[in-house]
Amino acid sequence: MDDNQYIFGIRAIEEAIAANQHINKIVARKGLSGDLFAHLQEVCKSKQIRIQYTTPDVLDRITKSNHQGVIAFISQIKYVNLSDIAHSQNQLLVALDGITDVRNFGAIARSADCAGVQALIVPSKGSAPINGESIKTSAGALNHIPVCQTNNLFMAIKALKESGLRVVGATEHGADDYYNVDFTQPTVIIMGSEDKGISKQLLKLCDANAKIPMTGHIESLNVSVAAGIIMFEAVRQRALIK
């Protein structure tokens, strides 16, 4: 599938939504009006599909065809609902808070698949797009590991915690070295962005905050490397209790 797979035209986009095509986002011309577009806006609102508004030249650079001022980008994978992920005694999930770099996202997905992670959880806004580059970086793992997209990452993690999962935040400011944190229980690991880390709101949900000890001159690891270390510590601990 092409990195930039898209459809254009109001009716074509509505038909794609009705056919349950997963739309990543819709880009529309600023000031666009009319009954057809108003109906599309209502459909998008009901389906929680975001519309971004831009200038005509941006749309024209995407396609020279008659786009009617609206272009929709189609997801390259099929997202799953968090409720569809099978619960198990060794459940391990990874939530990504503000990971916007497609290469880091792909590398995390690759490690997650190798570590037996049941699903990745990402916010619908402020997350790296799943495109050709991220799929390639994941070595195809994104075609296999379930990805759950949520409009409210806080509420999703809160629901997981209330269902019995232990929430572990991976942060350089953590109180415990990662190898001293218990990963043997059903767990969701939160990885934050490299510049801002995990949001304060999500940190409040954490049962433990795990840090990776640093002894060199660089203060932090690349987030995909850190994620791999944390995930495989969970694998190591769980292997010991079998």
Specify if 56 maps to a domain: yes
201 and 122 both lie in a single domain = yes
Q: Exposed, middle or buried: residue 26 (CB in 10 Å: 0-12, 13-18, 19+)?
A: buried
57 and 87 both lie in a single domain = no
The CATH number linked to 226 is 3.40.1280.10
120 and 141 both lie in a single domain = yes
For residue 218, give its domain range.
82-240
Could you tell me how far CA 112 lies from the centroid of its own chain?
13
The pLDDT value recorded for residue 2 is 43
171 and 223 both lie in a single domain = yes
Specify if 41 maps to a domain: yes
The pLDDT value recorded for residue 79 is 85
Q: Which residues of 220-232 are buried (b: 16+ CB within 10 A; e: fewer)?
A: ebebbebbbebbe
Specify if 1 maps to a domain: no
The pLDDT value recorded for residue 4 is 52
Domain total of the chain:
2
Specify if 196 maps to a domain: yes
70 and 86 both lie in a single domain = no
The CATH number linked to 43 is 3.30.1330.30
Closest CA to 26 of 72, 57, 76, 68: 72
Angstrom distance (rounded) from CA 131 to CA 142: 10
Residue 15 has φ and ψ, to the nearest 5°, of: -65, -40
26 and 46 both lie in a single domain = yes
pTM of the model: 0.79
Angstrom distance (rounded) from CA 211 to CA 127: 23
147 and 196 both lie in a single domain = yes
Sign of torsion, CA 38 52 75 194?
Answer: negative
Share of the chain above pLDDT 70, in %: 98
The pLDDT value recorded for residue 35 is 93
Specify if 177 maps to a domain: yes
Give the relative orientation of helices 10-18 and 35-47 as an angle to the nearest 10 degrees: 30
68 and 87 both lie in a single domain = no
63 and 92 both lie in a single domain = no
Residue pLDDT tens, the chain, 242 long: 344 588 899 999 998 888 877 787 899 999 999 999 999 999 999 988 889 999 999 999 988 888 999 999 887 787 888 888 867 778 999 999 999 999 999 999 999 999 999 999 999 888 888 877 888 899 989 989 999 999 899 999 999 999 999 999 999 888 899 999 999 999 999 999 988 899 999 999 999 999 999 988 887 899 999 999 999 999 999 999 86
144 and 185 both lie in a single domain = yes
The pLDDT value recorded for residue 146 is 93
121 and 91 both lie in a single domain = yes
The pLDDT value recorded for residue 209 is 96
